[in-house]
Structure 1
């Protein structure tokens, strides 16, 4: 049967040995693994968003330090490593330590320790995870004669859901600090210590005396350590791109461009090649369709809570300029939402100025932008599913050039949906419109800069470019006057598409669109 002999993509597989033994597609990162394990520091920390390959990287390190040379045949590291020494490896997975109180978290740590202690014939009954980890490291070293490797995957998982809670966070943080504290005291017995996570907690609060840990999260030489570059995708996944193109009825180059718009655009250093979200990319190539995979796998509740805590409106999530210390910063003492947005993968580096030392941060791609806005809908209406239907119908009308029909549809639907509380705030309605237009993610760009200001929204279809300005209780004519005053259409004159000016006015009294004005730019 056609397709049975095609290469398999490792969806949800985070074990390096399973990928290699099962002949799954693998983007070779082992040259970076060798560099990492032979660097000046043996205490390493790497921050990357969820589902970005951190667990697979940790598993790869485990196989390497266990000396499993056969798994690395044909990979870059095969030509670099000559000794393949087998070290005792203590591999801790903190991902299941979520939603636990202080006592539950301590029991979870003891459970993981007990499993490793059995390998060395240890039977400890102490309730102190600190002492048991110290004893385990020393015994592993003494019994094998080799220095110990400690790998801690998702070190911050137990803390993420309480990062916005001032009472619970310190309790769980103290448990983790107690657990990690032996790592410095055991330095003579350790070959390598590696921690991964999403967020960055201060060394003082989590790692106690372990103040020599090296954070490689923003180093250009490790920018591609997690995630997939376009070069890697073209080399390893050409067949998948071809199948996607056939399924969508487009050319392979158009399929590649669709993948790029939806899943590419991450940069964790500067300079850096574009990085694709591996979870979304592999799922899209497996299913031969474009969908919301990363966001569909779960929007963390802590993110929504923190957006509320810092009063972040949708328009302010992206388009940020700041120094590295403002976003590559400990999250438990952050004074803005920027560190959490960046470290969680909702904004990423888009540019850097050596002169000012400022980084430009923005939402990485269409999947994240649309997913973010969809998750914010419950903040504005009580029945968000009806807005999802509205967006789908509007997208079809706009695609077919019927902006008038799309706005008429929006006015009707908005007048029938119950709003959430606090709708007396004028910005509430403007933000709602912003979310709706952004959800037209196939075509929309927002807050587009021009020499004379920012356009509220720019929608691009295959046949038309719409320049849109929104007003509240001022009339559609006022919106159109701003478009003309700031000469917005001239900014897009070279785009090769007819430019249509759209002024929209929202009425707080009627709680929907009051009117609009649409003018076609003369060519």
Structure 2
């Protein structure tokens, strides 16, 4: 019988009944046998909740659910442990008070499940959990899912988020004092708050988020997709699927796919922005605007950060690079270790994220443009570029920059704002964009091509964007020709385009172009 695709299934018991389960129990076994107190972060929709539920079923000794899996004949099924599982995503997070009420109700249910009398119900959740664990008279497994959800739900209100953080810090610290009663502790979520800000009282946590051997603890590798979903892969263009959805790197030997994307694609047989559309990054856009510095999306998407920067995330220190990484909009391109320590070069993981994130940023830059208008303009641009109709392409750029806001965006005073608008627009339209494209004679602002998955091969567009105060200067195309930036693409049809945008007039005031021969010199 063909097993179903497990779209949205977070229950290990349910998934084992009639759905495909990608066997992660080898990683689980290694994790359990490598320590006791763990922290693990991954972006949303990556399978963290299913992992937590798998751990719960394993420690409860539900042997029948694991038949046929890697761990089945290696686990001691005679050993069973009470499991205290807390899912922070199920609580009301609008205020600390409402969150505390829901947290207490959840702990009361645990008392009921274990058949333990509550005693004084008016004590704090921290005291309630302490009394429960101590009363069980045996080693306990503690699993905390979505530990940071109460904070992230309030991240746009820094004061409220800080109150949630402080409350959770006080709650989580109780687990260290209960160490002698705990068999295994596992905390998971999206972000990695610094130990000082959130886990100062639980400083014995081992963060395994970037341990190479646990890189595929959640998510699907391509080999796993081919092995477990072979019945659903007939007619699927694997290369195109890889381009759209693969690319997340957590320092393992293989990159991984976001399971949510894979499952919905295999179900619908259509490529779309499934993961991105489950949660638009409005707070990321707000953080970018709050930086009040020269915007440069290209450099942001190719940033290099230190390992300590990844740990510097806090409510009042929202560094955009680690935030983009932890939430899944950037991933690791390369780990660099030398005398300076460890650094990570970042990149956008795949086509879906690059296209969708840039489109979202474009809407924030051009606050007046609607999704319908953007789609219409994008289609005009794509048609023009495929056909090599440069005049139509320039017309679309005039329309694009004609939508610039008048003093309504905090970044319009920066030249990088205009370059970022063009960069976000071309990426959002689905093109392959090389920003600050290096040549032997310097670097050009943008080189634009059709994406690798396009059905046709179009020309290369070398674009230099100049920002002037008001009057055109006619220097953009001249610079491309003098520096001979296009020679890097000898052998291809290349269009050189110089565009000048006026800061005071808020639009394109001059544009010229030239086609160069496709014959190599």
Name the TM-score, length of structure 1 as normaliser. Answer: 0.89
**Alpha-carbon deviations, 1:309-342, whole Å to 9, x = none?**
2246333431111221122433335373222111
Aligned to 1:383: 369
The match for 1:76 among 64, 70, 95 is: 70
**Alpha-carbon deviations, 1:67-114, whole Å to 9, x = none?**
112211222112432435221111111113364211011112101101
Judged with a 3 Å threshold, the aligned counterparts in structure 2 of structure 1 residues 281 and 419 are, in CA distance, closer, same or farther, namely farther
Q: CA RMSD in A?
A: 2.4
Contact kept? 2:477, 2:512, Cα under 8 Å: no
Does 1:463 find its partner at 2:472? no
**Alpha-carbon deviations, 1:17-72, whole Å to 9, x = none?**
111111x2222211000001111x21100011111111111111111111112211
Judged with a 3 Å threshold, the aligned counterparts in structure 2 of structure 1 residues 401 and 256 are, in CA distance, closer, same or farther, namely farther
Contact kept? 2:37, 2:184, Cα under 8 Å: yes
Does 1:106 find its partner at 2:100? yes
CA distance in 2, matches of 1:170, 1:226: 29
After TM superposition, the runs of 4+ consecutive aligned structure 1 residues lying more than 6 A away are: none
CA distance in 1, matches of 2:458, 2:369: 33
Judged with a 3 Å threshold, the aligned counterparts in structure 2 of structure 1 residues 416 and 175 are, in CA distance, closer, same or farther, namely closer
The match for 2:241 among 259, 265, 274 is: 259
- After superposition, residues 11-26 of structure 1 pair within 5 angstroms as 11-22=7-18, 24-26=19-21
CA distance in 1, matches of 2:498, 2:473: 5
The match for 1:365 among 343, 350, 353 is: 350
Does 1:407 find its partner at 2:404? no
Judged with a 3 Å threshold, the aligned counterparts in structure 2 of structure 1 residues 454 and 46 are, in CA distance, closer, same or farther, namely farther
Contact kept? 1:98, 1:159, Cα under 8 Å: no
Specify the SS of the correspondent of 1:483: helix
Does 1:436 find its partner at 2:436? no
Aligned to 2:122: 126
Aligned to 1:56: 50
Aligned to 1:520: 516
Does 1:287 find its partner at 2:268? yes
Contact kept? 1:161, 1:302, Cα under 8 Å: no
CA distance in 2, matches of 1:323, 1:487: 36
Aligned to 1:197: 189
Does 1:322 find its partner at 2:305? yes
Contact kept? 1:501, 1:521, Cα under 8 Å: no
Specify the SS of the correspondent of 1:397: helix
CA distance in 1, matches of 2:442, 2:72: 55
- After superposition, residues 218-257 of structure 1 pair within 5 angstroms as 218-243=210-235, 245=236, 255-257=237-239
The match for 2:285 among 297, 304, 312 is: 304
Aligned to 2:486: 489
Does 1:446 find its partner at 2:435? yes
CA distance in 1, matches of 2:128, 2:52: 22
Aligned to 1:479: 476
CA distance in 2, matches of 1:103, 1:113: 15
How far 1:448 moved relative to its partner? 3.4
- After superposition, residues 115-154 of structure 1 pair within 5 angstroms as 115-121=109-115, 122-124=117-119, 125-140=121-136, 142=137, 146-154=138-146
How far 1:233 moved relative to its partner? 1.4
Contact kept? 1:152, 1:196, Cα under 8 Å: yes
How far 1:502 moved relative to its partner? 2.5
Unaligned regions of 5+ residues in structure 1, if any? 246-254
CA distance in 2, matches of 1:183, 1:11: 33
**Alpha-carbon deviations, 1:224-276, whole Å to 9, x = none?**
11111111112122343324x3xxxxxxxxx212211221111122x541111
Specify the SS of the correspondent of 2:276: coil
The match for 2:89 among 95, 119, 123 is: 95
CA distance in 2, matches of 1:307, 1:42: 38
How far 1:164 moved relative to its partner? 5.3
**Alpha-carbon deviations, 1:174-232, whole Å to 9, x = none?**
22122212211211211100000111223333234321110001111111111111111
How far 1:419 moved relative to its partner? 5.3
Judged with a 3 Å threshold, the aligned counterparts in structure 2 of structure 1 residues 289 and 476 are, in CA distance, closer, same or farther, namely farther
Report how many residues are paired.
500
The match for 1:341 among 324, 330, 335 is: 324
Contact kept? 1:476, 1:516, Cα under 8 Å: no
CA distance in 1, matches of 2:319, 2:189: 20
Unaligned regions of 5+ residues in structure 2, if any? 451-456
Contact kept? 2:51, 2:218, Cα under 8 Å: yes
Judged with a 3 Å threshold, the aligned counterparts in structure 2 of structure 1 residues 7 and 190 are, in CA distance, closer, same or farther, namely same
